[in-house]
Amino acid sequence: MKHSIIFSMLSVLLMSCTSPKAESQEISSTKKSNIKMDTNGLDTATFGGGCFWCVEAVYQQLKGVVSVASGYSGGQRENPSYEQVCSGATGHAEVVQIVFDPKVISFDELLEVFWTVHDPTTLNRQGADIGTQYRSVVFYNSEQQHLTAQMYKDKLNKEGAFPSPVVTEISPLTKFYKAEGYHQNYYNENENQPYCSLVIKPKIEKFQKVFKSKMK
């Protein structure tokens, strides 16, 4: 109910992930990254669940997560800018790339959080954020991640976990482009922004109640 009220307010205000830009900050060039298993036993997971500010803020709080970077994946354009991705013409999705310690938190657990903190049944949309860049997607970096994500998705649909079918895309990770500097650690540095207080904060509060035992 709380989320319905919030999203109704957002519709009225025409508020979205693209609106509260940090105008005074320079946009740094994006960087390409193909990350695989770390030599220290770390692994990576790459998820898209709407605005990357929201997803980043959630995963930063999990035990076993070493770092979270916001960026772009799944499109055709090399080194895309935020504006280009927001146009919908690049094919990229807003994603986060999570570096985690599988000895502390598993890929399965990261997926559990993923399907809980966004709506995986809406195609190319999360709340007031509409476009292919906001699609629900898992970009896997190994066949094991592929099988795990697909099995999890199939189970959710078979059990009718959601009122509508899960439409999450499951695709191989080819390239990850780190987003401009002002997108990194966005919620922690902009908590008073309207989008942060009205959209991200309620999502974090819901996450904290459900996954209290997994928080740092």
What's the pTM value of the predicted model, to 2 decimals?
A: 0.84
The CATH H-level (homologous superfamily) assignment of domain 2-18+27-211 is Peptide methionine sulphoxide reductase MsrA (3.30.1060.10)
Average pLDDT, the chain: 87
Question: pLDDT band at 18, cuts 50/70/90?
Answer: low
Contact 52, 95 (CB under 8 A): yes
Encode 28-46 in three state secondary structure.
CCCEEECCCCCCCCCEEEE
**Which of these, 50, 43, 71, lies nearest to 141 by C-alpha position?**
43
What digits encode the pLDDT tens for the residues 148-179? 999 999 999 999 999 999 999 999 999 999 99
If you average pLDDT over residues 172-191, what whole number do you get?
97
Which residues form the catalytic set? 51
Q: What is the pLDDT of residue 40?
A: 83
pLDDT single digits (tens) 26-81: 333 344 444 444 558 999 999 999 999 999 999 999 999 999 999 999 999 999 99
- Percentage of residues in the chain with pLDDT exceeding 70? 82
Beta bridge partner(s), residue 67: 99
Mean pLDDT of 184-206: 94
**Mean pLDDT, to the nearest integer, of 93-98?**
98
Strand partners, 177: 32, 72
pLDDT at 1 over 70: no
Q: What is the dihedral of CA 21, 26, 27, 31, to 10 degrees?
A: -140
Place 17 in a pLDDT band, splitting at 50, 70 and 90: confident
Q: Are 94 and 70 in contact (CB under 8 A)?
A: yes
Q: Read off the pLDDT of each residue in 85-104 and give the average, rounded to a whole number.
A: 97
pLDDT at 160: 97
pLDDT-based confidence at residue 11 (cuts at 50, 70, 90): very low
